[in-house]
Structure 1
Amino acid sequence: MRNKSEFLIFKCSKHQRHRSISSITLIIILLLDRGTKLYVSSIMLLHDSFPVIDGFFSITYIRNPGAAFGFLANASHTFLSLFFVVVSAIAIVLLLLLIKNMKDEQPLFTFSLSLILGGAVGNLIDRVCYGEVIDFLDLHLMSYHWPAFNVADTSITVGAVILVYQLIVKKREVPGVQIFKE
């Protein structure tokens, strides 16, 4: 009689599962990010907005040449484009190296880094194609307005929260990287 695990669709080694988590996460994030950005930019004019939940959530099509919270707001468009492409490319290479060296028994680390990687690649594609990032998710809470963002930004944020949770709350270490040294 065969072992039940032989009948699994994804019969693979731990190392292959580790790579699968990363690849599947990256593909899903890129498809969601690109798909939503292309859809919004094809049906809306720049700066158009429509409420989804009145007074709380709108879809607002903007293009962001800078970074969050006005970082480098006074820099030239050429400098910003080059700066963010280079910084994103370096971050992507570092994330790929971390994922490659990740231990197989740490799928949550792999998942969190893959979320961050997917978001970084998604926003890099925008920077290379348009020189700026397409944002459209627009939150309001009473008189407070959160800057518009996109699926890639959300992916980066969720990945970072999971990573910080693993490092601080669970006190786990990223393989090959010593964060907390006593």
Structure 2
Amino acid sequence: MSLKKAYLVAIIVLLIDQISKIYIKTNFKLHEAIEVLGLDWFQINFIENEGMAWGATIPGSYGKLILTLFRIIAVIAIGWWLKDSVKRGYSSYLIFSIALILAGAFGNILDSVFYGVIFNESTASQVATLFADEHYGTFFHGKVVDMFYFPLWRGTLPSWLPIWGGEEFLFFNAVFNVADAAISIGVAILILFNKKAFAKPQ
């Protein structure tokens, strides 16, 4: 795969990610949820994430800034990895995966860097406005928009299971966005097609 095609993949994923986030942010109240096609296991559920994956955060007043700067450094490194992989003639599996990871990482960076200064606050009673006069944050302190929710199974685990036996369990309880999905798919391709992805260039 050429570098031009890899960048095209990344740009398309990034556009889908940002369009979906802006639509959700400007049409849904915070924690508003709807079922897609009447399916209780496929929902749009608008939440905002101030930290890393799974809602983790870096403690301290500069935690958010440190996280955002780390993401920017990571994107620069991934971009170099993509360009170097194309230059060295690595497989399309590897290049496509890196393009997905790059787009996903960059998509969440845009939220963190810019959303705080282009939106007002999303609340349970208020839908946010794009380019609002009163924004909710500052540069590098925006919140990441998440919306896809797949609660596929909810039930009680068998009592014979160690540690968690008899407890209520929900699979899958994460809420994520297109950028998160792109990163996950990219990593999954690298794992499932490891030999093809990292095969030595001809």
Q: TM-score range by the shorter chain?
A: 0.7 to 0.9
Q: Residues of 2 paired with 1:122 and 1:96: CA distance?
A: 13
Structure 1 regions of 5+ residues with no counterpart? 1-16, 176-182
Structure 2 regions of 5+ residues with no counterpart? 117-141, 155-169
Q: 1:11-50 to 2 correspondence within 5 Å?
A: 18-50=2-34
Equivalent pairs, count? 156
Q: 1:84-103 to 2 correspondence within 5 Å?
A: 84-102=67-85, 103=88
How far the C-alpha of 1:171 sits from its partner, in A, is 7.4
Give the corresponding residue for 1:65. 50
Equivalent residue of 2:11, what SS?
A: helix
Relative to the length of structure 1, the TM-score reads 0.77
Give the corresponding residue for 2:185. 158
How far the C-alpha of 1:101 sits from its partner, in A, is 1.0
Q: Residues of 1 paired with 2:185 and 2:200: CA distance?
A: 17
Q: Residues of 2 paired with 1:54 and 1:47: CA distance?
A: 18
Q: Residues of 1 paired with 2:23 and 2:51: CA distance?
A: 22
RMSD: 2.1
Equivalent residue of 1:46, what SS?
A: coil
- Bigger fraction of residues in helix: 1
Which deviations, in whole Å up to 9, do the C-alpha atoms of 1:144-172 show, x marking residues without a partner?
142210000000000111122333x5472
Give the corresponding residue for 1:138. 149
How far the C-alpha of 1:105 sits from its partner, in A, is 4.7
Moved over 6 A (4+): none
Equivalent residue of 2:65, what SS?
A: helix
How far the C-alpha of 1:173 sits from its partner, in A, is 5.0
Q: 1:56 to 1:165 in 2, by over 3 A?
A: same
1:126 is the counterpart of 2:142: no
Q: 1:174 to 1:139 in 2, by over 3 A?
A: farther
